[in-house]
A and B are shown apart, each in its own frame.
Chain A
Amino acid sequence: MRLARISILSGLLLFAMVGTLVAPGPAPSQAAGGTVTVAQGAEPATLDPFQEISRTGYNVTLHIYDPLFMRNDAGKIIPMLATGYKILNPTTWEFILRTGVKFHNGEPFDAAAVKFTLDRALLKDSPSNYLVDGVKDVRIVDPRTVQVTTADPMPLLLPNLMLLGIAPSHYYQAQGASYVATHPVGTGPYRFQSWVKDDRVTLVANHDYWGGVPNIESLVFRLIPDPAARVAAFRSGEADIITDFAPDLVSSIANDPRIKADVTTGTRSINIMLDTSTGPLRDKLVRQALNYAVDKDAIVKNILGGFGTVESTLVPAAYLGFSPLLRPYAYDPAKARALLAQAGYPNGFDIVFQSPRGRYLADAQVSQAVVGYLKAVGVNADLKYYEWGNFVNMYFKHQLGPIFLIGSGSAALDAADALENVSCDVWDSWYCNQGIQAIYVKAKATLDPDRRAALYREIQSLVYDEAPIIFMYTQKGIYGVNTRLNWTPRSDETLWLAKATLK
């Protein structure tokens, strides 16, 4: 008996020891006034501005590095490291640079840094190449003037440059890319302090910042991969801002006055691509039928909790060139059947449908819902899921199709990026219409934003009728924001805290 008691007691002793750690104390202290913690679901793989091109990465790096231009909260382009620009001719831009700016290590900012940055981004094996692809030459005119020549007129150069942080050429070349990846130096409002890999990046305010010292002294970017754990950290006050707030958890914070969910129009557009080169999908009527067959409102309401906007075009509303005139295809299964019959498929047909799983919000459920709607009009879709890495591999090998779900998003906020999916330019393309392509090429070379937007709208009206995709929705961006912070998220999904204040 004593023995059993001893055994149990030693087990209980362990619990007691744990218990002493538990002294219920005050809530884990709110970050001391002056520190704001942002929790994201992923962390940057590297702080090298050329290597890291994910949204979660930019959210960190754009505090350390300044680009030449940025958008303000109203969407207007504002000068950053460049104070202005001139378009000398359709293929030559001249950027006038800000003077008196230094990098965090004291190195002066000048045209050499800009040339170094652009040249490096242009390297074929640089992930940032997509931002400057089309630039032919970068020339230093004088320490505060840089001329950039493009092969063809490139209206997206300016918005694309908003994502390219300017790097210090001497520091970068002296230390090497590997070192810069973990010891970034830029001109930005925040300096790099420390990075505990897979845990958090800590930045401190740059007291010599040309744009004025930020109000918040320190920023911590934490990584909390699990969406529910992220919301838990938000509720407990450990995180002041969270990104990718799971829609089904938004209601869990309804009764807490200290925290709120902010919703933006979003830039992530989900669409179902159709391979129009084979089978029944060659017929426009079939493609339109598929659009009538799916109840997109129901999908947004029930699967996304209402946090989405049904689209009539694959261009999200926040983009330049968005066409507001088109009404989304209505949910009309009878009409879908009629169109299918008219096209010669009164009994529907069989087809393969590929979907990623876990890559986009509720992607698997959305695909399943779509399959259900298609079946109701006689189209039997064989749904296959793929892990994202495999899916991307198949995309690049053009092995996807005839139907697949994919998302797109762009920080340039220009319709060209979205419309590329229905141009002839994408990897042998799943849809190629010469008429639309001609307008697309013209639009891409039109520097004047209003004329470009008009061309984009023309394309969208044609695309709407041609229905080379099943138009689905744009996801709303949901952020959790603690009310002690004066900050609202932006529709272009750029998270920038340099001007934020604490109440």
Chain B
Amino acid sequence: MFLKHAALASGLALMAGAAMADCQISGNVSIVGNEFPAIHTVANGAAECTGGEVKSNLTADHQKINVAGMQGNPAEYSSAIIANSSVVALMNEDVIRPLDDLVAEYGQDIPKNQLITIGGKVMAVAFMANAQTLAYRKDVLEEIGVDVPKTYEEALEAAEKIRAAGISQYPMGGAYAAGWNLAEEFVNMYIGHGGEFFKPGSAEVAINNEQGVAALNMMKSLTAYMNPDFLTHDSNATGAEMEAGNVILMNMWGSRMGNLMDAEGAEEQVYSNITVGGPLTVGGGKTSASTLWWDGWTVAKNISDEDAVATFLAMKHGTSPAILNDETMGQAVWMIDGYKPAPVNDGVFAAIAAGTTSYPMLPYMGLLHTALGDNLSDFLLGKESAEQALADAEAAYTAAAKEKGFLQ
């Protein structure tokens, strides 16, 4: 008797469960991606699919493992969540598959601008946008009677006034940690000065010019107003400085503005006054000294067809309007129907509206990024001139490009 009741109850429960999840897959999904709230939301959305196993490995070191993990046959990961720069690494090693056929069959409802096409083939589906823009303390700027800076030169003037008023000795902030972060700041500043990274149509680098020197000099002027340990400060550390009330003006990622503006980790006067501004320009130019990034998902090449279909459907569900709710709405600038922008996303929208350049998706950009990250700190430490630092970065890039076959 009891058994019959139990069987009936579990049968009903199962039916109810199946009715709720409108995502049925018949293969296995394994996701690898970065570790921040928005990506967690996507992975959880994908895990709602029933019928197959959905695993995810979200870690800040995802770029160290995604290529290797997808090179095996069958691949360890069936989907990698990547951004502009990391999709190039996957394409260079030929581990992701074009999605045109899957889009035609299952993804007709995906908005066209979310489809990232390279050479006419859809290689990824983007779901969020990100950019580095200004974050500032509006109460401090009011106190010293300064408008919100629109250019880096105005930011320097504001920093000098803040220091003179005794409010903070080191009011500027930015992710200037030697390595990837420092190189990213240089890329932003160089683009703001209107520089081109490579000779047109080739992989030969061309950054040792007046725009490069101007970019480095502006970065040096900014560091005069930063905590002297700036070469060890990544986004987390400089964000902590702002939450501690030491940093007043900071160049920060849109995806991290939520952490700065929430009620945790800072005093009420600090977090309620942190405001998001648009990207700054520099040197009188019109181009923002920033880059636009998209985050998207891909499907691996070395997996079975049914796993590929399952992955496509699961990831599509994970980035569909179904994942948007009060909690997840503010986590990123979702490029999804039904997304309602919040003040925390003003910066990224301003960046898009200002026509900010997107980070170059070139196969050899990663090598230049690494070379810059290794060689620019010597100039900021005052050990060598700007031209020498740029020449060192160019030489390091050239040697790496020769080894990888981009140059002869």
Question: Are A and B subunits of one complex?
Answer: no
Binding site for A on B (CB under 8 A): none
Binding site for B on A (CB under 8 A): none
